Amino acid sequence: MSSAKLRIIVTDNEKDFHQRAASLVVETLQPLDNPLVTLPTGMTPVGMYRVLVAEYRDLPLWQNLRFVGLDEYVGLPPGDPRLFYLWVARECLDPLSVPLENRMRFASDAPDIDAEAQRMNQWLLAHGPLDLAVVGIGGNGHIAFNEPGTPYESGVHALTLTPESIRSNARYWGREDHVPRRGITLGLSNLAAARHTIVLASGAGKSEILARALTGPVTVDVPASYLQTISNVTILADKAAAEHII
């Protein structure tokens, strides 16, 4: 392991993975007053959200949680079910009753998406840094929509998705041509400033990229390798995803 700062937890099975993810989130948030959190979409965190809702719904902390979107598609109307915000709201924020006024979401349909990125960046400068970033990892090493080649100092920005990300996100929408081509995302500098980071990785399909990110060179070719440069990172992986790092 190239960094002593990474804490790696490997779970035995799917159930443990989701349970542990949920308890890590709760343990991190509970001591904090008004924690600012960003949360991922994707298949990986869905079980964690179910556990949070089933077992931790009654905790008072959700009333004080402040949520900011991690990434989003560009160009969709505010009610489009493909929106990442609506996904996280459905799976987690609504059932946990996180107050609407505590949720900062991207305006996917903003007429000037670069201005929208600036707005979000300014908001984070004023209200951040993140207390907790929970992130997944894309098959190409992307974190949120920070695609390979994204500079480490990037703030919130709009981007064109790589063909690989379009392909991998097609599984949520049935067809590749249903996947929007543009995205907007918190940048690596916003994420690197987080006081705590929890990375979720499950399945054999993530094992190689996880190893490259955590034990390979720190390079913009693998955006997730920024994790080696920051503190308070917990990697939660199932056995299949952890195959090359343990």
Task: With contacts defined by CB under 6 A, name the span among 26-34, 40-48, 120-128, 186-194 that binds ligand GLP.
Answer: 40-48
Phi and psi (nearest 5°) for 183? -135, 170
Catalytic residue among 71, 72, 91, 238: 71
C-beta of residue 226 within 8 angstroms of C-beta of residue 6: no
Instruction: For the chain, give the longest Cα–Cα distance.
Output: 47
CB 118, min distance to ligand GLP, A: 21
Residue from 28, 146, 150, 169 in contact with ligand GLP (CB under 6 A): 169
Task: For the CB of residue 7, give the shortest distance to ligand GLP in the complex, in Å.
Answer: 19
| Interface residue with ligand GLP, options 24, 25, 48, 71 (CB under 6 A) | 71
Confirm or reject binding of residue 136 to ligand GLP (CB under 6 A). yes
Is residue 20 within 8 Å of 48, Cβ to Cβ? no
Q: What is the C-alpha to C-alpha distance for residues 23 and 223, in angstroms, rounded to an integer?
A: 27
Residue whose structure tokens are 């399909």: 205
Residue 199 C-beta: closest distance to ligand GLP, Å: 9
- Catalytic residue flag (residue 140): yes
**67 SS3 class:** strand
Count of chain residues binding ligand GLP (CB under 6 A): 14
Yes or no: say if 213 and 224 are a contact pair by the CB < 8 Å rule: yes
- Report the residue from 25, 29, 40, 117 that binds ligand GLP according to the rule CB under 6 A: 40
Give 24 or 144: the residue with its C-beta nearer to ligand GLP: 144
Query: Can you say whether the dihedral through the CA atoms of 23, 165, 147, 130 is positive or negative?
Result: negative
Does position 38 interact with ligand GLP (CB under 6 A)? The reply is: no
Return the HEC string of 72-104: EECCCCCCCCCCHHHHHHHHHHCCCCCCHHHEE
Closest Cα partner for 144 from 94, 64, 154?
154
Kindly state the smallest distance separating residue 42's Cβ from ligand GLP, in Å.
3
Annotated active-site residue 127? The verdict is no
- 34 counts as catalytic: no
- Using CB under 6 A as the binding rule, whether residue 43 contacts ligand GLP is answered as yes
Residue 85, token pair as written in the block: 């915000």
Q: Give the nearest distance from C-beta 145 to ligand GLP in angstroms.
A: 5
DSSP conformational letter for 143: B
Considering the rule CB under 6 A, would residue 144 count as an interface residue with ligand GLP? Answer: yes
Q: Is 165 in the site for ligand GLP (CB under 6 A)?
A: yes
Residue pair 173/110 in contact by the 8 Å Cβ criterion: no
59 or 239: CB nearest ligand GLP:
239
- Residues labelled as active-site residues: 71, 140, 142, 147
Using CB under 6 A, list all residues that contact ligand GLP.
Answer: 40-44, 70-71, 136-138, 144-145, 165, 169
